[in-house]
Amino acid sequence: MLELIKAGGLLMWPILICSVISLSIIIERFWSLQQKRIAPKHLVAQVWQWAKVGHLDNKRIQALKVSSPLGRILAAGLVNRSHEREVMKESIEEVGRHVAHSLERFLNTLGTIASISPLLGLLGTVIGMIKVFAVITTHGVGDASILAEGISEALLTTAAGLSVAIPTLMFHRYFRGKVDELVVTMEQESLKMVEVMQGLREDEYTSPEIDTQTDSSQ
């Protein structure tokens, strides 16, 4: 592996650094963007049960705020639960924008790596070909071994750049879609919570199954 990096020239090092950064971001995003960490199920039902039995106090709201991104959004609405529906929605939307932005953390870096990696490979190719033509100008084309270094550098950097860019681009697109899906889920759950707290929606949160799950979690 080290021999290939040396054969590819100096531009193999920034490509290698890009690959390490890309892999780190991919692992971190897979961990951070789990559904259970961002938008836990039955969270709105739990909030409704707290409100129903009179346990929805500031302490529970603060605990909800730090529990997950969805909890942070719901807590923003619950702070204003005594106000009109529009006030609750505005506070939820304001916090929701910040949460959505935080979910996109590192994705711009991932997209940048996907863009610059093949360009670094192309630059290595150009430099390698320049070396080849410089050798041809000096020594001619009689000895192929003299040309091998430049040709090897040109091919290796191109392959390395594409090898980093292709999977990075795939995961960048995947995480973009994952973030969009999570944002839609949080919007739906937030709207449910507003309707529940305003008395416009109740039936689906009064089933015995939800009550039992909520009571056992307390």
Does residue 2 carry a pLDDT above 90?
A: no
Q: Which of 23-27, 184-188, 193-197 has the highest mean pLDDT?
A: 23-27
Please, which pLDDT band fits residue 208 given cuts at 50, 70 and 90?
very low
Distance, CA of 167 to CA of 117 (rounded, Å): 11
pLDDT band of 207, cuts 50, 70, 90: very low
DSSP state of 142: S
Which tokens sit at 9?
Answer: 């020239």
Q: Who's near 156: CB < 8 A, 6+ residues apart?
A: 4, 7, 8, 9, 12, 124
**Among 9-18, 98-107, 162-171, 206-215, the least confident range:** 206-215
* Res 211: pLDDT: 44
| Portion of the chain with pLDDT greater than 90, in percent | 37
Confidence of residue 101 (pLDDT cuts 50, 70, 90): very high
DSSP state string for 63-77: HHHHH-HHHHHHHHH
> With bands split at pLDDT 50, 70 and 90, how would you rate the model's confidence at 32?
very high
**Average pLDDT rounded to a whole number, residues 89-111:** 91
- H helical segments located in the chain: 2-8, 12-32, 35-38, 43-52, 58-67, 69-79, 85-103, 107-139, 144-197, 208-217
Sequence spans of domains, the chain: 41-210
Total-model pTM:
0.79
- At 170, is the pLDDT very low, low, confident or very high (cuts 50, 70, 90)? very high
Q: CA angle, corner 33, sides to 45 and 188, nearest 5?
A: 35
Least confident range from 19-23, 124-128, 168-172: namely 124-128
pLDDT in the model for residue 148: 67
pLDDT top residue among 182 and 203: 182
Q: Write down the pLDDT at residue 214.
A: 41
Instruction: Identify the pLDDT of residue 218.
Output: 42
The answer to whether 43 and 71 are in contact (CB under 8 A) is: yes
Average pLDDT over residues 31-36: 92
